[in-house]
Structure 1
């Protein structure tokens, strides 16, 4: 009872299988290198957010990974127990005797079946397969997230442009103030020169008048 796991809803399990089917190339490769593993972890995080928002049990990423392992292993065991061979051509097809798998289980079993090993020359493409599978995911939240990130980038770029514009305006105002100060200083100096010139003229006139009297 202590280790009893909370059972996911049928809607959550259906979405889980649909997600794995849409991203089969990515999860089958298990990630090549650090980038591949990071991409898979990002996919699990995205899947967890969606599953937890469907109204069923809320689980952590690790718990959903365990759920996937449980349902996958359970389905494989059931197929092995009741059938030695499953014909993939037709849902519910029989091998040695009547099939005990319904059409949904047969379809889901295809998703859990391990694909052929990837040749060495193709392993460099595994990360690209993850990225392509990510782009094809039917998660309805993907498009709003992309639009939101784009809007944030645009707003940041606009804010940066505004900061640069304000900085230029402040520099321009500073330059204008400096020019005004210099103009005022020049006016004061000109005024002093004109004043001295007037005084000099008056002195010359006085001198001329004194000379005439003498």
Structure 2
């Protein structure tokens, strides 16, 4: 919450996007949780190195987990993830400043202990973690812009060694690129007081270095090694393609054989079905023949009956004519 005073002693209250956080001091338990979590997950100490996209996602997830752990602690304030990040950065800066002050006080006392400031165990652990990252680097964070040494082609430049003419080696100044800054983990060690080195003018002669003659050979060897590695990759790729083709052909043969066997089985079944149908048709024909024979017999029986009936009628007519008188004769059907 921010208060801005305007004219007429009026105050305008502005609420920031972050929630209102209690002004309690961070407890020792929260500091212990913070340092233990960061010591197990050193990817959070990436510093100025720009992490990759996957590493940044992992860092955000770890900060979410750490925020829940710190807020769930019984003592101390509860903050947002961004606020805990700022707290950690401020703590690092404060610890480094405190270590530098202790080192200066030790130098003033001639390597003895300082009077006022002393690092706590958590601060010593944090300082050791920071020095670990500054010396070894964070292996979990991918560095941007680094290229393999073999892939770079450069032109050999002549190198020169600077040799003084008059001054001896013992009186030469240390070059600026040879000076090492004190690391944070070594700040507490006692360092002896060295006298100041006076600057003197020197003259140098340029002598071509012999190492420049060997650079083209080294580069040629590196190029040959890269060519041989590329050739190996091409050979392995070609062998893999051949193996895939052979496997595909074998699969095709197996599939075609299975398909042919299935086709033969289907054809055999079709033939069996046709045979059964033909047998059924032959049986039907036999039955029809039998039916026709039966019908023929029935017709023959009917004809015989009809003939016998006609014979009977004729006999009856003859008998009736012979027996009955003429006036009683009845016209019988012919």
More strand by share: 2
Q: Which has the higher helix share?
A: 1
TM category, shorter: 0.3 to 0.5
What's the TM-score once normalised by structure 1's chain length?
A: 0.48
